[in-house]
Structures are given as C-alpha cells and as structure tokens.
C-alpha cells in the first residue's frame, strides 16, 4: 500500500531557523526501509525541496529543547495540514546549517535524550535529569531543585559552614532566575520581586543582590554600591531573635531567608503548572546548568 513519506529540512542560518524545506515521496515499503530510503536521498532531496516559512524564528537550542519536551512536532503541524498528511506521518527531519546538511547521528523522533547518547559521549555515561525526574507526563521539579541545590545548602548550614551555605543559596537564586528570565535585565532581582517575600525579612531584592555580589565574588559584605553608599549594607545571623542593625549593617535571619526562598521556589514551580508552555524554555536553560548529581562516568575501559 502506497503512502507519503516526508523529508523535512530545518534550515538554520547560523543558529537561527526561519524556514523549513520539504520533499514528499509516494512509497510502498516498510517504515524501516522507507527511512533508509529518505536518508540516502537527503542531499538530493534538499536540492529539489520546497520552502515553507515558520510562523516565528526558532534557535537551534530552542528546537532541541522542544525535542526534549516532546513538543517539537507542533512546529510542523501547519505544513502537515497544508499537505493533508495523516495523524502520524512517516517522516525524517534533517538539520541544515548554512546550506550544509548537519547530521552527527540518527535519533528517533520520540527520543528526548539528545545530548547523552553514546554517539556523543565518547565512552562516558551520565544520567539524564529529564528522564530521572519525569513522573508520568510531568516532572518532579521539587525533588529536582532539592537534589541540585537545597541538599548542599542544608548540608553546609547544618555543618555550621554558614558563609558557604549562604553562597550556595544565593547561587541557587541566580540559577533559577536565569532559567526563568534568561540574560535580560537583572534576573536575580526580577525573580525575587516576582516570587519572594523579602519585605518580611526587612530587606529588598536590591540589597540581597549587593550582598550576593560581595559574597560570591569577594567573600565580603562590601560590593561597589555598598562602598559608595548607594545600597544599604546587609548581612545575616543565626541563633538570635529578630533582625537588627549594628555598626551601620542590617542583619537578617538566615533561617528565615531559607524559608522565604523555599516558599518562593514553590510559587515558581506552581507557575509551570499554570503555564505549561514554559517547560520547553525551562528545559533549554536547565540543560545548561551543572550539579553534583550530574557526573559523567567512564562506561568502558579507556584505550
């Protein structure tokens, strides 16, 4: 029985894609043989393919993130509606970068583990966080954030390594803010403004940002804006009641900051339940983070 097979080309200029190209074949062969047929013809089909504009620009990383999220097929739906393809068309997607086919490996369309396949790992293996924390059709984000950030924050706090623990907490905010907002503006302050109740501690996001600058970069309390009296100097304390000022420095309760950030993270996670379309961007940016729980190990003897 004959059916249509589609060779789709994602046309990248640099790192950005604005168009697709496609070639349709009417074939009568099993799916496996059909895919081999499309692979053999990829270069020839590209030269005789037709152009189709995308509704919006998409970067290579955004496309990969959509593949990881399992939503990348939505990108091709307008084309398949135009071609009156069936619900599950037989297809092959090929990346073309600056006019040249870019093919490092063959990956099934439903494989979300794009980066950690053996073809790319050169003898190493690593758990995929997306697979590890997937619970049915959702992600266990609370456990992911706990394992990647809060476990180390709690270990250092309970061991009395309070400066290290504070650095880890501020770095956690940095990471989550980047995942939410990218590089635009000051993500750290924007994230705190949106999700955290810092006024309950008597401090502002700007003040915590300057504490972060001093601690993370120099392990002191005096960022440039603090030294020039543009932002109030703050620090933290543990084991006393209430917040207070001394020698021009305002001290807040470290444990209460941990609690405030925990509530903020819960609210941030809830925003993904309210707006599932954010998950692809979450995956794109979270793939760029590193953590103690993601360590590559040698899976075979070195030559």
175, 289 Cβ separation under 8 angstroms:
yes
252, 202 Cβ separation under 8 angstroms:
yes
Q: What is the pLDDT of residue 121?
A: 63
Residue 260 tokens read as 């405030």
Rounded to the nearest 5°, which phi and psi values hold at 11? -90, 105
Q: What is the pLDDT of residue 273?
A: 86
Q: What is the pLDDT of residue 134?
A: 87
| DSSP structural state of residue 242 | S
Half-sphere exposure of 242 (CA within 13 A, CB side): 3
DSSP track, 173-240: HHHHHHHHHTTSS-HHHHHHHHH--GGGGT--HHHHHHHHHHHHHHSSS--HHHHTTSS--EEEESSS
Residue 62 neighbours by CB distance under 10 Å: 20
Integer Cα distance of 302 and 300 in angstroms: 6
214, 229 Cβ separation under 8 angstroms:
no
Residue 116 tokens read as 């950690």
58, 17 Cβ separation under 8 angstroms:
yes
pLDDT along the chain (303 residues), means of 10: 89 94 92 91 94 91 88 89 87 92 75 64 76 85 94 96 97 96 95 97 96 94 94 90 73 94 96 89 92 74 47
Q: What is the pLDDT of residue 271?
A: 95
Distances (CA, A) of 39 to 27, 91, 137: 14, 11, 32
155, 162 Cβ separation under 8 angstroms:
no
DSSP track, 15-35: TEEEEEEEEEEEE-S-HHHHH
Q: What is the pLDDT of residue 128?
A: 85
Integer Cα distance of 118 and 198 in angstroms: 46
Integer Cα distance of 115 and 60 in angstroms: 13
Residue 180 neighbours by CB distance under 10 Å: 19
Q: Which among 75, 53, 52, 51 is positioned nearest to 62, based on CA atoms?
A: 75
């Amino acid at each position: 029985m004959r059916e249509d097979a589609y060779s789709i080309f994602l046309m990248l200029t640099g790192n950005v894609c604005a168009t697709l190209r496609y070639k349709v074949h009417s074939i009568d062969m099993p799916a496996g043989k059909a895919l081999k047929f499309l692979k053999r013809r990829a270069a020839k089909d590209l030269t005789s393919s037709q152009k189709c504009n995308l509704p919006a620009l998409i970067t290579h990383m955004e496309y990969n993130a959509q593949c990881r999220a399992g939503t990348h097929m939505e990108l091709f739906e307008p084309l398949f509606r135009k071609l009156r393809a069936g619900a599950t068309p037989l297809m092959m997607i090929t990346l073309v970068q600056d006019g040249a086919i870019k093919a490092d490996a063959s990956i099934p369309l439903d494989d979300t583990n794009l980066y950690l396949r053996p073809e790319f790992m050169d003898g190493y293996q690593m758990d995929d966080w997306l697979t590890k924390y997937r619970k049915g059709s959702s992600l266990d984000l609370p456990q992911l954030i706990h394992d990647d950030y809060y476990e180390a924050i709690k270990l250092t706090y309970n061991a009395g390594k309070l400066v290290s623990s504070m650095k880890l907490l501020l770095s956690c905010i940095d990471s989550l803010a980047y995942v939410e907002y990218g590089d635009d503006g000051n993500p750290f302050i924007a994230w705190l403004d949106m999700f955290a109740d810092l006024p309950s501690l008597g401090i502002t996001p700007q003040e915590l940002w300057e504490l972060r600058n001093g601690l993370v970069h120099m392990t002191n309390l005096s960022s440039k804006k603090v030294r020039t009296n543009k932002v109030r100097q703050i620090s933290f304390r543990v084991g006393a009641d209430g917040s207070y000022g001394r020698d021009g420095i305002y001290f807040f309760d470290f444990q209460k900051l941990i609690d405030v950030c925990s509530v903020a993270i819960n609210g941030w996670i809830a925003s993904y339940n309210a707006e599932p379309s954010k998950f692809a961007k979450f995956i794109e940016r979270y793939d760029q983070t590193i953590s103690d729980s993601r360590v590559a190990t040698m899976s075979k003897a070195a030559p």
